[in-house]
Amino acid sequence: MQGDQDCISERNLTLQHNLSVLSSFRELSTQYSRCRMSAASIALEVAEAEAQLVSAQSQTIRHTLQQVGLHGCRPRRKPLLKLAHNKACKQFAESNLPKSMNYWKHVLWSDETKINLFGSDGVHHVWQCPGEEYQEKCILPTVEHGGGSIMVWGCMSAAGTGELSFIEGNMDSNMYCDILKQKMMPSLQKLGRTA
């Protein structure tokens, strides 16, 4: 009878230790996940931090992070802004904040963009069961050479949209100036604006 109680008490101690280790493991996993780190590198850091008391596989790290509400995803991309850029943006916003709506009605905004004729350049994900790789719902149709794309310049204001210009080849400063002369001025007139 005493041997059974010792065994139960030993199991309880082991369980308490495992729960304690799991709790600290979750805290460490969550802490490291705030950085841009892979599951494998988090597993190494956790093992080092716990002095080899915890040995975790990458899948365990992923599972633990998902349990606390974190999910792996591709990071969003945005232009690298230095401190000088941030200051200039803030200064621009603050200097234009008091301007009236009437002022902004006279601003013409323009930009260029690439439009794919088929599909997207973005990364796609699907959820599938084993053996479903080639089912219609799990495939992404493609065409040879990507289907092609076009570059377009356009403009708009509070009064509406201006003209479009289809760009052939690579845009350089001369081509951009030509577009502004040939498309921006007529767009200003169409929208009832003056330069």
Ordered DSSP codes for 24-52: HHHHHHHHHHTSS--HHHHHHHHHHHTTT
What's the pLDDT band for 12 if we cut at 50, 70, 90?
very low
> For a pLDDT cut of 90, what percent of the chain falls above it?
12
Whole-angstrom distance, CA of residue 183 vs CA of residue 193? 14
What residues have CB less than 8 Å from 124, skipping those under 6 apart? 140
- Counted residue by residue, the chain has a size of 195
Per-residue confidence (pLDDT) for residue 34, from 0 to 100: 52
158-188 per-position pLDDT tens digit: 888 888 999 888 888 999 999 888 988 888 8
Considering only residues 130 and 99, tell me which one the structure prediction assigns the higher pLDDT. 99
Mean pLDDT, the chain, integer: 75
Residue 158 CA: distances (Å) to CA of 100, 109, 171: 13, 9, 27
Amino acid 189: pLDDT: 83
pLDDT at 112 over 70: yes
Q: Are 109 and 157 in contact, with CB atoms under 8 Å apart?
A: yes
Contacts of residue 45, Cβ cutoff 8 Å, sequence gap at least 6: 28, 32, 37
| pLDDT category of residue 193 using cuts at 50, 70 and 90 | low
Domain ranges of the chain: 8-67, 100-190
Tokens of 42: 């988090």
Neighbours of 28 (CB within 10 A): 20
Residues 6+ apart with CB under 8 A from 89: 81
CATH of the domain spanning 100-190? 3.30.420.10
pLDDT at 7 over 50: no
Q: Assign 130 a pLDDT band (cuts: 50, 70, 90).
A: confident
